[in-house]
Chains A and B, each alone.
Chain A
Amino acid sequence: MSLYKFLPLPSDRMGVLWALSSLKGACILEYGPAGTTHYGIESYGKLNMDLAASLFTTGIDEEDVIMGDSGRLAATLLEIDQRGEFAHIFVVASSVSSIIGTDIVAICKEVQPSCRAKLHCFAGGGLKGSYNLGVREVLTTLARDVVAPGEVRDSMLYNIIGSNADCYNFASDIAEIERLMQSCFGLKSHAVFTTGSSIDQISGAATSGFNLVVRAEGLEAAKILKEKYGQDYYYGLPYGYQGTQQWLRGIASKFGLQIMAPYLDSETQNQKNHLLRWRFLRRGSKPLTAAIAGNFDLVLNLSRFLEQELDIKTVAAFVNHERSSEHIVLDEAQKDLIKFNPSEQAKLDALTAADPDIILADAVLLKMYQKGKVRLQVSHPNLQRILLTRHQPLVGFNGAGSILEEIVNRL
């Protein structure tokens, strides 16, 4: 039964809007009822993200629905384009326009010759799948149609693919990844697909040395950039001390980079101190268990950190979206453990049965299930928390330290 007491599964359309809305200089045009746009705008605050793109709606009325009149989409596109402010306009269908069968791809194709801006269509309308599918569509579209042709000019630069508004702690996590890359290799990020970046930065992404993919939904985009511009990529999300070490060594190996040994030595010493303290504090105590919920890459890598570095067994792991083709590479143990988009009741049943000590999850799950000694929000959906700073990561060495510190102090 598709009955929800809490928040329903966000749709592909919502993923499209979330991923695009943080892009400065982008124009998003929704073709559908104005109320959906207005409602959506009011929810951006809970993503702890500024609406950096220019967002508009066409509105839609009974005549459009009954008579199939789609004239307002073309008229609105031409009006926006006339202002000459945007190089790219992203047209997003609604469930209403999808159901009445409006072919926004055909309309955009017809209007394109009269537009200076390049038009991009997202025709799913919220009926194709969960939000991660929409995020993937945006990342793929940006790589395929927005990144301008260019040769790698600056090997000291790299791009990050897959930091999006649905990644709860994106601001601090990206800052940590940038710090790691700077400290370990002396490299700087150029474009982030998509948080905190502009259309111009995305457009110029082909000139960077390589790409870091931090969520599975960005793999298709990275493959396109590799094929088109010879830009190689590394996929992984660095959770945990060893996880981060492996991530850095993997990048060094893939791109032939020299690790700055003093930096890594100092982080390794920190790691030893932290873990020594942890083991001392846990001596003689019964083993701990944890439940994790969030996006796929978070769940996969955070559970590895807990299990392999802290000896905390993950007894429940929920991915907050549907399983798609990017997620097929799971071993048997992971397949048994990681549940994609379980129902509210299935989550409650699993948690009640496992009774984990530690819950690292989204705000809805934390509201739904009130038990657990350590309860920490690590993922989206967010309900009330306002994140202002960029120095409280969950990834990287600092993220590992923060998570461990929270666990130690809340147990």
Chain B
Amino acid sequence: MKEGISRLERLPELARLKKLSQISTKKDLLQLSHALFPGTHCPLFGVALTASLIDDLIMLIVGTDECAYYTKRFTMNREAQGEGRDNVFSFAMSQHDIVFGAGEKVRDAILHLDRTYHPQAILIVTTCVPEITGEDFVSFAATLKDSVEAAVAVVRTEHFRCNNHMPGIERTLLALSEFMQPQQTVANSVNILGHRQHGIEKTELFRLLSARGVSINLSLPSKSNIDSIRRAPQAALNIVTDFTALPLAQRMQKAFGIDYVYFEKYASPHRISAAYRELGQKLELDIESTVAEWHRQAEEAIATSAQDLVGKSFIYGNSPLMAFEGAAFFTALGMKPIIISARDVYEGDRAHIDEILARGEDPWVSMVANIAPLQRLYPVLKPDIYIGHENPHTLARLGVAHLVLDSVAFKLGFELPVAIVKMAAEALQTTSKTKTEGVRHVAL
């Protein structure tokens, strides 16, 4: 392996990147090339991902035809697939609007939406262009309060100030907090904040809470409407299952005095145990022995599936897990990271990075969502498995196993790492089978 790595050290493309041991902040995440493909998604996409899950809400996009067109197409598609609502309207800015301002026309549009569709809330979503021209839609929204029935809030999505779509999710959740109203606390009830997938009731976390008599007041955004968002402060505790909801939890703590537990989509059983323990303490639930038993069972299941993973090299691409936490988990299984792609260095990532380094691994780290130059390196890097979104045909041609983790985003608790390891082992087996049977197929 050492000989292999030193050979890779000499690759000029990789010389652009920093090693994990040199990573401290987002600025250390470098690109393999100037030319990017496909590039990161923008915050507008993050808003659409989030707000299309909320009933009684209209999104009004203020920007170019193109931004509005793609977003509308995305939400139409989502609705057709039963994954969300197509609640997008667009105000397409003309050159005249860009030069002279669109405020009055947007006011007319909002009045029209309010009177025609009677939504509970309207989310004005400003894109790059109005943010460059500097129209103040936040102040503008405040002036509408007496004219419209719907509650109005603004989310700004200028992509040139942030490199990915996560701020769009974070800002949408924060904007929704503007609709929340003080409530009487309902004992033994919690809000799940940040879960964007359907079927929260199927998760291990939910099942445990239900069995202990804890009710879910709101799952935001996956199962929510404006009325339930207004009543969110009824909950005794917030459980944050995605880092994008941390600012919302902090705001709710300040505004309504609601404490929170950070229960991320962790892959590490130890971190899951710790999150469960904190949850038990804050809700005064006696779950210690249950969690300990589940942890033991999970470790056992992981150990069984992980036998074939030991020593396998991987490239970590874009996945629903936090990049460094996910990579730390695979490294803990005895796998060898070659490159980790990440979009940011988040709070808590220092510990995940140190875990990987402590295992003697120091992979390259690249900015996420630039697959084109990476693809040119696969034949040289020869990873056993690629984790994340990629073209399956490209990987299959090179005999690289492919692990897509989208389905694990539906899970919370020990069920998540157990599923990951099982899927990883299956992916490797499938590729290995294809490699050996490939010749026979050709001969046939």
Contacts and interface: CB of A to CB of B under 8 A. Distances in A.
Given A34-B42, A99-B133, A8 B98 contact: no
Contacts of B97: 2
A95 B67 CA distance: 10
A411 interface: no
A99 B129 contact: yes
Contact of A43 (B44, B64, B65, B70): B70
Interface stretch (A74-82, A105-113, A194-202, A268-276): A74-82
B409 to A, nearest CB: 18
Contacts of A346: none
A62 B92 CA distance: 23
Interface residues of A, number: 50
A280 interface: no
A33 B98 CA distance: 18
Contacts of A175: none
B112 A7 contact: no
A4 B89 contact: yes
Contact of B42 (A3, A38, A72): A38
Interface stretch (B73-81, B257-265, B288-296, B324-332): B73-81
Most chain B CB within 10 A, of A9, A35, A60, A65, is at: A35
Nearest to B97: A2
Given A62-B160, A99-B133, A11 B65 contact: yes
A38 B369 contact: yes
B165 interface: yes
Contacts of B161: 61-62
B290 to A, nearest CB: 42
B159 A35 contact: yes
Interface in A33-56: 33-43, 46, 54-56
A8 B69 CA distance: 6
A1 B112 CA distance: 10
Contacts of B71: 39
B35 interface: yes
A250 interface: no
A383 B97 CA distance: 29
Contact of B160 (A9, A14, A33, A41): A33
Contacts of A43: 69-70, 73
A80 B20 CA distance: 27
A95 B39 contact: no
A286 interface: no
Contact of A10 (B65, B93, B109): B65
A190 interface: no
Most chain B CB within 10 A, of A11, A64, A72, is at: A11
Contacts of B34: 58, 72, 75-76, 79
Contacts of B66: 10-11, 13-14, 36, 40, 95, 126
B366 to A, nearest CB: 14
Contact of B43 (A1, A35, A58, A80): A35
Q: How large is the interface on B (under 10, 10 to 19, 20 to 34, 35 or more residues)?
A: 35 or more
A332 B97 CA distance: 33
B40 A39 contact: no
Contact of B35 (A7, A9, A36, A79): A79
B98 A99 contact: yes
Contacts of A29: 35
Given A11-B64, A36-B42, A36-B67, A57 B37 contact: yes
Contacts of A1: 105, 108-109, 112
Contacts of B40: 34-35, 38, 59
Nearest to A128: B95
Contacts of B160: 33, 60-62, 64-65, 96
Contacts of A408: none
B33 interface: yes
B65 A126 contact: yes
Contacts of A55: 37
Contacts of B98: 99, 127
A230 B89 CA distance: 49
Interface in B74-133: 74, 76-77, 80, 89-95, 97-98, 105, 108-109, 112-113, 128-129, 132-133
A7 B293 CA distance: 53
A89 to B, nearest CB: 10
B92 A2 contact: yes
A260 interface: no
A6 B65 CA distance: 11
A100 interface: yes
Contacts of A10: 65-66, 69
B68 interface: yes
A153 interface: no
B129 A96 contact: yes
Most chain B CB within 10 A, of A1, A7, A80, is at: A7
Given A4-B92, A35-B44, A42 B70 contact: yes
B348 interface: no
Contact of B70 (A40, A64, A76, A384): A40
A68 to B, nearest CB: 12
Contact of B132 (A34, A37, A99, A127): A99
Contacts of B129: 95-96, 99
Contacts of A35: 39-45, 159, 165
Nearest to A56: B35
A54 B33 CA distance: 15
A54 to B, nearest CB: 8
Given A2-B94, A29-B35, A38 B41 contact: yes
Interface string B149-170: 0000000000111010100000
A41 B38 CA distance: 8
Contacts of B163: 34, 59, 61
Nearest to B95: A127
A4 B70 contact: no
A79 B370 CA distance: 15
A343 B163 CA distance: 35
B159 A34 contact: yes
Contacts of A41: 38
A4 B90 contact: yes
Interface string B22-46: 0000000000011111111111110
Nearest to B63: A95
29 contacts: A2-B91, A3-B112, A3-B113, A8-B69, A9-B65, A9-B92, A29-B35, A33-B159, A34-B40, A34-B42, A34-B369, A35-B40, A35-B45, A37-B36, A38-B40, A38-B41, A38-B369, A39-B42, A39-B44, A40-B66, A41-B38, A43-B70, A54-B37, A62-B161, A76-B34, A79-B33, A79-B35, A127-B64, A383-B77
Given A8-B69, A62-B161, 11 more contacts: A2-B93, A9-B92, A35-B41, A35-B44, A36-B42, A37-B36, A37-B37, A38-B45, A56-B36, A57-B39, A72-B34
10 shortest A-B CB distances, which residue pairs? Answer: A35-B42, A34-B39, A39-B70, A56-B35, A33-B159, A76-B34, A8-B92, A8-B65, A4-B90, A3-B109
